[in-house]
Amino acid sequence: MVDGPLENIFSNLPLTFQDFVLIVILIVVAVAVRFIFSWLITSISKRGVISSGTRILVTRIVDIVIVAMILIGVAGIVTASLVPYIVVFVIAILSLLLFYNEVKEFSAYINIQLMKLRRNPWVEVYLPGIDKPITCRVLDISPFNTTLEDVFGNKIYVPNTVLSNSVYRARQPHVVLRLGLSVIHGIASTGDFDCNKVVSKVNEVARDVLFRVETENVLLRMIDPQKVEIVVSLVPAKLPIRASDVTKLTIKLSEVLKDYRPEIEVVRIS
């Protein structure tokens, strides 16, 4: 029971003093939760766990949810009825059924952000149901799908639910060559056969066409008295990889290694 001037004020309103106190408490709690959540999501964004775009989007969604909860709570207190809550519950269930796919994709979008899958760094992605991985980089992450770009510059649009269930690892794009060299012709022309000299020549040619030899990954695949096979991995200095650059590389290698009667095969570009 409220005495004095307050009693006269609330006697003319459709709500009691206790209702007014409940509404004030509801608003204060909602605003406090909003600021705590905003501080938390900003801290996570500063640590690089999620992007600034995701922070803004999630914050806006939380603002809408909090405003809706305040309005529903006020309506429930004023009417002293469960009808507003029942109506909102029914609307929420219908919205979930109608926009189930959108909600699922957006949930996957948040999951991708938490996975720290960033734009531009190159990764090797193993998509569900696809045997061979894709070497690509992330161009854009939207709430419903992600745009990838492969080593040839082709754009791939992947639903967020598929990407969030994929396995990926950091990987630099590269070109793998197999060099078949004749030991007999090499010795006859140069007087000896030194694999290190061959790799050095390959490295010089690769630099001219903007490739770099990964010397730590050079593999002697086969050695016999007549033939040597060397597998060389090259990293492009610029992307995407163009077929003309690879063709130019193989032609120059064929000219430089002509004393060894080379067989040059492009094993993989990824």
**From 9-18, 158-167, 188-197, 228-237, the region with the lowest mean pLDDT:** 9-18
- 142/184 same-domain check: no
Whole-angstrom Cα distance, residue 149 to residue 240?
9
> Does residue 162 sit in the same domain as residue 196?
no
For the CA atoms of 106, 109, 113, 115, what is the dihedral angle to 10 degrees? 120
Q: In this structure, what are the phi and psi dihedrals at residue 171, rounded to the nearest 5 degrees?
A: -155, 130
pLDDT of 29 above 50 = yes
User: Are 200 and 250 within one domain?
Assistant: yes
CA distance 155 to 205: 30
Based on the fold, state whether residues 265 and 179 are members of the same structural domain. Answer: yes
Contact call for residues 161 and 105 (beta carbons, < 8 A): yes
E-assigned strand segments in 193-250: 211-213, 219-223, 227-236
Q: Give domain status of residue 26, yes or no.
A: yes
- Cis peptide bond prior to 240, omega within 30° of 0: yes
Considering 170, 190, 210, which residue would you say is the last residue of a domain? 170
Asked if 161 and 89 sit in the same domain, the reply is: no
Does the pLDDT value for residue 14 go beyond 70?
A: no
Residue 4 placed within a domain: no
Instruction: Tell whether 109 is covered by a domain.
Output: no
Task: For residue range 160-209, list pLDDT tens digits in order.
Answer: 888 888 888 888 888 899 988 887 665 545 556 677 888 888 888 888 88
In CATH, what number is assigned to the domain containing residue 210? Answer: 3.30.70.260
- What are φ and ψ of residue 53, in 5° steps? -65, -40
CA distances from 99 to 103, 110, 139 (A): 6, 17, 26
Domain boundary, last residue among 65, 98, 131: 98
pLDDT at residue 107 in the model: 81
**Helix-helix angle 83-98:52-79, to 10 degrees:** 150
75 and 137: one domain? no
Task: Give residue 186's pLDDT.
Answer: 55
Does residue 258 share a domain with residue 230? yes
Give the up-direction half-sphere exposure of residue 105: CA atoms within 13 A in the CB hemisphere.
13
Query: Does a structural domain hold residue 111?
Result: no
Tell me the CATH number at 166. 2.30.30.60
pLDDT per residue as tens digits for the range 55-73? 787 888 888 888 888 888 8
What would the pLDDT profile of 71-125 be if each residue is shown by its tens digit? 888 877 777 777 777 777 787 788 778 878 877 887 888 788 777 677 778 888 8
Do 206 and 122 lie in a common domain?
no
Q: Based on the domain organization, do 179 and 260 belong to the same domain?
A: yes
Cα–Cα distance measured from residue 136 to residue 171, given in angstroms and rounded to the nearest whole number: 9
Q: Which of 59, 86, 61 is nearest to 72 (CA)?
A: 86
Domain that holds residue 138: 116-170
pLDDT above 90 covers what percent of the chain? Answer: 1
Q: Is residue 84 part of a domain?
A: yes
86 in any annotated domain: yes
Question: In which band, very low, low, confident or very high, does the pLDDT at 2 lie, cut at 50, 70 and 90?
Answer: very low
State whether 166 and 185 are in the same domain: no
Q: Does 132 share its domain with 182?
A: no
Instruction: Say how many domains are in the chain.
Output: 3
Answer for the pair 111, 50: CB distance below 8 angstroms, yes or no: no
- Same-domain check for residues 133 and 210: no
In a domain, 213, yes or no: yes
Residue 160 tokens read as 């967020």
Residue 7 domain flag: no
What pLDDT score does 192 carry?
63
Between CA 229 and CA 233, with CA 230 as vertex, the angle to 5 degrees is: 150
What global pTM score does this model have?
Answer: 0.64
State pLDDT tens for residues 119-174: 778 888 888 888 888 888 888 888 788 889 888 888 999 988 888 888 888 888 88
